Chains A and B, each alone.
Chain A
Amino acid sequence: MKKNIEKKRKRLFIIAFLLTCSVVSVAQTDIDAIMMEKNAFCVGPMYSYSSWKNYWEGTLKRENLNLGRVSTQMYGVMGNYGVTRKLNALFSVPYIKTKASAGTMSGLDGIQDLSLFLKWRPVQKKIGSGRLSLFAIGGLSFPMSNYVADFLPLSIGLRSKTASARLMADYQKGNLFATLSGTYVFRDNIKIDRTSYYTTEMHYTNEVEMPNAMNWNFRAGFRNHRLIAEAVANNWTTLGGFDITRNNMPFPSNKMNGTTVGVNIKYVIPSLPELSIVTGGNTTVAGRNMGQSTMVYGSFFYVLDFSPKAKTAAKKK
Chain B
Amino acid sequence: MKKTFVLPIAFLSAAVLLITGCSKEVVNRTDDIPALNPANIDINAGTWRPVLLTTPTEFPVAAPIATTVPDYIIQISEIKTWQAELTSEEKRLVKYWSAGAVLRWNEILRELVAKHNLPPYQNPDGTYPVPSANNPLAYPQFPFANPPYAARAYAYISAAQYDALVAAWHYKKLYNRPAPYKVDNTLQVLIPQSDLPSYPSEDAVVAGAAAELMKLLFPGDQDFIQQKVEEHKRARLIAGANVRSDLEAGELLGKQVAQKFVARARGDRAGAAVGNQTLWTQLETDCIARGEIPWISQETPKRPPMLPLFGKVKTFLFDSLTAVSLRPGPPPSTGSQKMKDETEEIYDFVKNPSRENIRIVHFWADGINTYTPPGHWDAVAAEDFISKNYSEVRWARNMALLNMAMMDAAIVCWDTKNFYFNPRPSQLNPAIKTLTGLPNFPSYISGHSTFSGAAATILGHLIPEKAVAYEAMAKEASLSRMYGGIHYRSDCEVGLTVGENIGNYAVQRATTDGG
Q: Do A and B bind each other?
A: yes
A191 CA to B160 CA, complexed, in Å: 36
Which residues from chain B contact A204 at a C-beta distance below 8 Å?
28-30, 107, 379
Q: How far is the CB of B192 from chain A (nearest CB, A)?
A: 23
Contact with A along B359-403 (1 / 0, CB 8 A): 100110110111100001001000000000000000000000000
Contact with A along B1-34 (1 / 0, CB 8 A): 0011001100110111011001011111110000
Whether, in the assembled complex, A202 has its beta carbon less than 8 Å from a beta carbon of chain B, the answer is yes
Q: How large is the interface on B (under 10, 10 to 19, 20 to 34, 35 or more residues)?
A: 35 or more
* A246 touching B19 in the complex, CB below 8 Å, given contacts A66-B299, A104-B426, A106-B433: no
Q: Which A residues from 42 to 99 make CB contacts under 8 A with B?
A: 65-66, 83-84, 86-87
Whether, in the assembled complex, A270 has its beta carbon less than 8 Å from a beta carbon of chain B, the answer is no
Contact with A along B340-352 (1 / 0, CB 8 A): 0000000000100
Whether, in the assembled complex, A271 has its beta carbon less than 8 Å from a beta carbon of chain B, the answer is no
Query: In the complex the two chains form, is B300's CB within 8 Å of A103's CB?
Result: yes
Which residues from chain B contact A151 at a C-beta distance below 8 Å?
362, 435
Contact with A along B412-431 (1 / 0, CB 8 A): 00000000000000100000
A139 CA to B7 CA, complexed, in Å: 13
Whether, in the assembled complex, B434 has its beta carbon less than 8 Å from a beta carbon of chain A, the answer is yes
Which residues from chain A contact B12 at a C-beta distance below 8 Å?
118, 136, 138, 165
A106 CA to B121 CA, complexed, in Å: 22
A186 CA to B139 CA, complexed, in Å: 36
Query: In the complex the two chains form, is B111's CB within 8 Å of A198's CB?
Result: yes
Which residues from chain A contact B3 at a C-beta distance below 8 Å?
84
Chain B residue nearest to A187 in the complex (CB): B24
Query: In the complex the two chains form, is A138's CB within 8 Å of B11's CB?
Result: yes
Chain B residue nearest to A139 in the complex (CB): B15
Query: In the complex the two chains form, is A106's CB within 8 Å of B485's CB?
Result: yes
Whether, in the assembled complex, A197 has its beta carbon less than 8 Å from a beta carbon of chain B, the answer is yes
* A249 touching B369 in the complex, CB below 8 Å, given contacts A165-B19, A205-B27: yes
Query: In the complex the two chains form, is A140's CB within 8 Å of B15's CB?
Result: yes
Which of B7, B299, B350 is A118 in contact with, Cβ under 8 Å?
B7
Contact with B along A194-229 (1 / 0, CB 8 A): 111110011111011110100000000000000000
Q: How far is the CB of B227 from chain A (nearest CB, A)?
A: 13
Whether, in the assembled complex, A302 has its beta carbon less than 8 Å from a beta carbon of chain B, the answer is no
Query: In the complex the two chains form, is A186's CB within 8 Å of B8's CB?
Result: no
Whether, in the assembled complex, A305 has its beta carbon less than 8 Å from a beta carbon of chain B, the answer is no
Q: How far is the CB of B220 from chain A (nearest CB, A)?
A: 14
Whether, in the assembled complex, A184 has its beta carbon less than 8 Å from a beta carbon of chain B, the answer is yes
Chain A residue nearest to B12 in the complex (CB): A138
Which residues from chain A contact B107 at a C-beta distance below 8 Å?
202, 204
Whether, in the assembled complex, B432 has its beta carbon less than 8 Å from a beta carbon of chain A, the answer is yes
Query: In the complex the two chains form, is A105's CB within 8 Å of B433's CB?
Result: yes
Contact with A along B273-307 (1 / 0, CB 8 A): 00000000000000000000000001111000000
A158 CA to B98 CA, complexed, in Å: 37
* A186 touching B18 in the complex, CB below 8 Å, given contacts A197-B370, A202-B107, A209-B26: yes
* A138 touching B8 in the complex, CB below 8 Å, given contacts A146-B355, A202-B110, A247-B121: yes
Whether, in the assembled complex, B437 has its beta carbon less than 8 Å from a beta carbon of chain A, the answer is yes
* A248 touching B368 in the complex, CB below 8 Å, given contacts A106-B435, A118-B7, A186-B19: yes
Which residues from chain A contact B426 at a C-beta distance below 8 Å?
104
Scoring B8, B12, B368 by chain A CB atoms within 10 A of each residue's CB, the highest score goes to B8
A65 CA to B363 CA, complexed, in Å: 26
Whether, in the assembled complex, A107 has its beta carbon less than 8 Å from a beta carbon of chain B, the answer is yes
Whether, in the assembled complex, A150 has its beta carbon less than 8 Å from a beta carbon of chain B, the answer is yes
Which residues from chain B contact A209 at a C-beta distance below 8 Å?
24-26
Whether, in the assembled complex, B509 has its beta carbon less than 8 Å from a beta carbon of chain A, the answer is no
Whether, in the assembled complex, B265 has its beta carbon less than 8 Å from a beta carbon of chain A, the answer is no
Whether, in the assembled complex, B438 has its beta carbon less than 8 Å from a beta carbon of chain A, the answer is yes
Which residues from chain A contact B376 at a C-beta distance below 8 Å?
195
Query: In the complex the two chains form, is A198's CB within 8 Å of B115's CB?
Result: yes
Query: In the complex the two chains form, is A198's CB within 8 Å of B24's CB?
Result: no
Chain A residue nearest to B425 in the complex (CB): A104
A196 CA to B140 CA, complexed, in Å: 24
A141 CA to B125 CA, complexed, in Å: 46
Which residues from chain A contact B433 at a C-beta distance below 8 Å?
104-107
Q: How far is the CB of A13 from chain B (nearest CB, A)?
A: 24
* A104 touching B15 in the complex, CB below 8 Å, given contacts A65-B300, A66-B299: no
Query: In the complex the two chains form, is B26's CB within 8 Å of A207's CB?
Result: yes
Which residues from chain A contact B8 at a C-beta distance below 8 Å?
87, 118, 120, 136, 138
Q: Which B residues from 196 to 226 make CB contacts under 8 A with A?
A: none
Which residues from chain A contact B26 at a C-beta distance below 8 Å?
189, 203, 205, 207-209
Q: How far is the CB of B252 from chain A (nearest CB, A)?
A: 29
* A194 touching B25 in the complex, CB below 8 Å, given contacts A66-B300, A202-B110: no
Query: In the complex the two chains form, is A192's CB within 8 Å of B362's CB?
Result: yes
Q: How far is the CB of A75 from chain B (nearest CB, A)?
A: 19
Whether, in the assembled complex, A6 has its beta carbon less than 8 Å from a beta carbon of chain B, the answer is no
Whether, in the assembled complex, A245 has its beta carbon less than 8 Å from a beta carbon of chain B, the answer is yes
Query: In the complex the two chains form, is B300's CB within 8 Å of A188's CB?
Result: no
Which residues from chain B contact A65 at a C-beta distance below 8 Å?
299-301
Whether, in the assembled complex, B61 has its beta carbon less than 8 Å from a beta carbon of chain A, the answer is no
Scoring B4, B11, B18, B28 by chain A CB atoms within 10 A of each residue's CB, the highest score goes to B11
Query: In the complex the two chains form, is A195's CB within 8 Å of B369's CB?
Result: no
A252 CA to B101 CA, complexed, in Å: 32
Q: How far is the CB of A100 from chain B (nearest CB, A)?
A: 9
Q: How far is the CB of B423 from chain A (nearest CB, A)?
A: 12
Chain A residue nearest to B112 in the complex (CB): A202
Q: How far is the CB of A148 from chain B (nearest CB, A)?
A: 6
Q: How far is the CB of B428 from chain A (nearest CB, A)?
A: 12
A150 CA to B368 CA, complexed, in Å: 13
* A86 touching B368 in the complex, CB below 8 Å, given contacts A65-B301, A193-B358, A246-B118: no
Which residues from chain B contact A147 at a C-beta distance below 8 Å?
355
Which residues from chain B contact A202 at a C-beta distance below 8 Å?
107, 110-111, 114-115, 371
Q: Which B residues from 479 to 512 make CB contacts under 8 A with A?
A: 485
Whether, in the assembled complex, B328 has its beta carbon less than 8 Å from a beta carbon of chain A, the answer is no
Chain A residue nearest to B18 in the complex (CB): A163
Query: In the complex the two chains form, is B362's CB within 8 Å of A247's CB?
Result: no
Q: Which A residues from 104 to 163 make CB contacts under 8 A with B?
A: 104-107, 118, 120, 136, 138-140, 146-148, 150-151, 163
A65 CA to B140 CA, complexed, in Å: 19
A210 CA to B22 CA, complexed, in Å: 12
Chain B residue nearest to A165 in the complex (CB): B15
Whether, in the assembled complex, B119 has its beta carbon less than 8 Å from a beta carbon of chain A, the answer is yes
Whether, in the assembled complex, B38 has its beta carbon less than 8 Å from a beta carbon of chain A, the answer is no
Query: In the complex the two chains form, is B114's CB within 8 Å of A198's CB?
Result: yes
Subset of 28 A-B contacts with CB under 8 Å: A83-B4, A103-B298, A103-B300, A104-B433, A104-B438, A105-B434, A106-B350, A106-B434, A118-B12, A138-B8, A138-B14, A138-B15, A150-B362, A151-B362, A164-B15, A188-B18, A189-B26, A193-B359, A195-B363, A201-B111, A202-B371, A204-B28, A204-B379, A205-B26, A207-B26, A246-B118, A248-B368, A248-B369
Q: A65-B301, A118-B11, A192-B362 are in contact. List 15 more A-B contacts (CB 8 A).
A: A87-B7, A104-B433, A105-B433, A118-B12, A139-B15, A164-B15, A165-B16, A186-B18, A186-B22, A188-B18, A189-B24, A198-B369, A204-B29, A209-B24, A249-B369
Question: Which 5 pairs between the two chains have the least Cβ-Cβ distance?
Answer: A106-B433, A202-B111, A193-B362, A65-B300, A120-B8
